[in-house]
């Protein structure tokens, strides 16, 4: 849903920005419109990644297709960095090339674009956090980057119109400055997606919650090891659970299942759990 809404909005805004930029003699607005086309591609990538990651496990992919979501997140991050480079090059070219000041009506369009894009950013980011999806969060930051470049163009065009002759490149300088923020967000998202592809562990706070939930299961003496990794929208967990060494194999197996069920039914988005049962050390026995 989030990707579909973003895609429709980006198509509409890209057309409006490019058309207004041409009519209003604003190269920054034209570049902003072209950058919006990368958002369309990003939304398609996110939608495709989520669809593939939701596919069930099969013979060739026994752990599921969740990594497709992380790959989509990395593609979106790279697209964000690419858009920043494109805008920076375009802005630098316009700074050294004399051109007339933009028309005043470009400010109205930019104000509308900023409002729409910031609203989309907050809407998509909220869904991304709810789904714990790096790809969807990356798509949200694409909307924010678009809002930033539009805000920079708004400030720059205002300076160009108020300052008069000699201030025409002001919108290009403003767009160039906005690129630094876009690069920062793109790099942050890239690191996050790369970490998921490299099976980085879940945050310490989340691991501690997993340990606490598991340790609260009757019969569990201690949690020796806890390994986690994110795949798609869920977590894969591997636990080494210590139980009374005098228990039967059947009872140890039942406790392992209880640990698995408790984690899977929790609010932690745990998708799969592997529990290894070990006899408790005498010092830890209660």
CA-to-CA separations, 194 to 74, 85, 186, 188, 200, in angstroms, rounded: 7, 21, 12, 10, 9
Per-residue confidence (pLDDT) for residue 173, from 0 to 100: 80
- Residue reference for tokens 């879940």: 202
Q: What is the rounded distance in angstroms from the CA atom of residue 107 to the CA atom of residue 275?
A: 60
Question: Across the strands, what pairs with 242?
Answer: 222, 278
Per-residue confidence (pLDDT) for residue 1, from 0 to 100: 58
Listed ranges 92-101, 160-169, 182-191, 214-223; the one with the highest mean pLDDT: 214-223
* pTM for the full predicted model: 0.69
The answer to which of 41-45, 122-126, 232-236, 255-259 has the lowest mean pLDDT is 41-45
Task: Say how many CA atoms lie within 13 Å of 70 toward its Cβ.
Answer: 21
Residue 264 pLDDT more than 90?
A: yes
Q: Return residue ranges of the chain for CATH 1.20.1510.10.
A: 2-197
Classify domain 2-197 by CATH architecture.
Answer: Up-down Bundle (1.20)
The answer to which of 39-43, 224-228, 262-266 has the lowest mean pLDDT is 39-43
Enter the tokens of residue 139: 């798509």
- Residue reference for tokens 């409006």: 16
Q: Return residue ranges of the chain for CATH 3.30.70.1350.
A: 204-279
Q: What is the rounded distance in angstroms from the CA atom of residue 70 to the CA atom of residue 68?
A: 5
Per-residue confidence (pLDDT) for residue 278, from 0 to 100: 93
Per-residue confidence (pLDDT) for residue 233, from 0 to 100: 77
Per-residue confidence (pLDDT) for residue 184, from 0 to 100: 81
Q: What is the rounded distance in angstroms from the CA atom of residue 200 to the CA atom of residue 229?
A: 6
Classify domain 204-279 by CATH architecture.
Answer: 2-Layer Sandwich (3.30)
Residue 286 pLDDT more than 60?
A: no
Helices 170-197 and 67-96, packing angle to 10 deg? 160
Burial class (CB in 10 A: 0-12, 13-18, 19+), 48: middle
Mean per-residue pLDDT, 64-74: 86
């Amino acid at each position: 849903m989030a990707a579909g809404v973003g895609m429709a909005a980006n198509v509409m805004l890209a057309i409006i920005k490019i058309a207004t930029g041409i009519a209003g003699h604003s190269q920054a607005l034209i570049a902003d419109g072209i950058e919006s086309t990368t958002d369309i591609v990003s939304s398609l990538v996110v939608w495709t990644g989520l669809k593939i990651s939701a596919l069930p496990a099969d013979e060739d992919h026994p752990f599921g297709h969740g990594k497709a979501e992380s790959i989509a997140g990395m593609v979106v991050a790279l697209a964000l960095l690419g858009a920043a480079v494109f805008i920076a090059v375009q802005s630098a070219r316009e700074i050294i090339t004399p051109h007339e000041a933009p028309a005043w009506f470009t400010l109205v369009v930019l104000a509308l674009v900023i409002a729409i894009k910031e609203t989309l950013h907050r809407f998509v980011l909220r869904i991304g956090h709810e789904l714990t999806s790096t790809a969807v969060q990356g798509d949200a930051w694409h909307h924010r980057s678009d809002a930033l470049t539009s805000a920079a163009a708004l400030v720059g065009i205002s300076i160009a119109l108020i300052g008069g002759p000699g201030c025409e490149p002001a919108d290009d300088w403003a767009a160039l400055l906005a690129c630094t923020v876009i690069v920062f967000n793109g790099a942050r998202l890239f690191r996050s997606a790369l970490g998921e592809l490299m099976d980085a562990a879940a945050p310490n706070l989340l691991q501690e919650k997993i340990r606490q939930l598991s340790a609260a299961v009757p019969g569990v003496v201690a949690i020796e090891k806890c390994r986690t990794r994110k795949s798609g929208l869920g977590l894969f967990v591997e636990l080494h659970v210590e139980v009374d060494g005098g228990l039967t194999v059947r009872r140890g197996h039942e406790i392992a299942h209880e640990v698995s069920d408790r984690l899977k039914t929790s609010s932690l988005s745990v998708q799969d759990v592997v529990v290894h049962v070990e006899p408790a050390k005498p010092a830890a026995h209660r």
